[in-house]
Amino acid sequence: MSVNLRSSSSPSLSLLKSRECNRLVSIQPNHLKFQKRRTSFPQICAAASTGNSSSSIQTGSNSTELDAVSSFSEIVPDTVIFDDFQRFPPTAATVSSSLLLGISSLPDTIFRNAIEAALADSECYAVENSETRPACFLNKALVNVGSDLAKLVPGKVSTEVDARLAYDTHGIVRKVHELLKLYHEVEIPVERLLFKIPATWQGIEASRMLESEGIQTHLTFIYSFSQAAAAAQAGASVIQIFVGRLRDWARNNSGDPEIEAAIKRGEDPGLALVTKAYNYIHKYGHKSKLMAAAVRNKQDLFSLLGVDYIIAPLKILHSLKESSAYPDEKYGFVRRLSPDLAREYNFKEEELVKWDQLKFASAMGPAAEELLASGLDGYVNQTKRVEELFGKIWPPPNV
């Protein structure tokens, strides 16, 4: 079963009239136990990706570069909810500790009420253990914001799983079940959800177990082919690779065989990993979709055309939208990744193994180990900051 960040149940956005884009929809989430709240959100309208499978595109005089690249890959704005929501409406969303901190830092946002509702929740309010109460508040806040986002975007909402569980397979599975139960209570169907899990071996095994239950997973912090291949074998719905972070590591470090091999071939290590992972997925029939993140410039984006999803910073999106695309454009808007090209890619015998924990650990180079550890530290610190913040402001006013 393939996964699309756009929800299959959403109506085709191309049928929406432009005048409807400013229509307000009234949402009444039911996650506040003490009192009901009513929030109005602007209806999000976005141009649907065409999914053009041709190797190149003929651009017209009125086309922008953003139109051109969107014909090959789904472009996802790398933005928090407070940025250019109308000009670059997101098709999908991620709710994380970082997002909760952002919401909490601003006095007036449309999602502030979701956090206040979490802090007033009767179930968490009844938890007497001061050490476990913050975790209850965090789960409720993630789901409250996630459910509101699910009403705003046409695609899927990915929910971050506590990074402190990164090396605990069964702990990850239990946490996802807890979050899914809360989403069920606010009537968000499982088909609209992804659960974002760090790509440790234990995280990949948790992904395998959850996918077997029909729960879609989003594996992140992937910096090596062994992680990408193991994630694909596990059946992860989305595999996320950070292009720019690998490049940064290569500029300041050495000694990683995978990175040095790419450089020796004259390739950027981050772009090379995305290409290799894409070819592996498509050549060997895995269901996973590939997401390229930490894209640093337009040339990165042009080099990735054809990958399923590209997370692009707003500054790049602004540049693409303001630039016209012409047939003789020097970059040519050529599809760089395709199933046909994947079939021609040759893998080494040692890359085609059935991955287990020992092989996985042996193949992880220093770049992947260091970047994975750094990413986990950042997520853990953000989670602790959220729990500390919730501890300071609990109970909220009027409770």
The answer to whether the CB of 203 falls within 8 A of the CB of 172 is yes
Distance of alpha carbon 399 from alpha carbon 397, whole angstroms: 6
Q: Which residues lie across from 25 on neighbouring strands? A: 41
CA-based torsion, 107, 196, 305, 92: positive or negative: negative
Clarify whether 196 is annotated catalytic: yes
Structure tokens at 398: 């009027």
| Burial of residue 206 (number of CB atoms within 10 Å: 0-12, 13-18, 19+) | buried
d(CA 333, CA 305): 8
Q: Of 196, 276, 289, 298, which one is the catalytic site residue?
A: 196
**368-399: burial string, b at 16+ Cβ within 10 Å, e else:** beebbeebbeebbebbeebbebbeeebeeeee
Three-class DSSP labels, 33-83: CCCCCCEEEECCCCCCCCCCCCCECCCCCCCEHHHHHHCCCEEEEECCCCC
Catalytic positions = 196
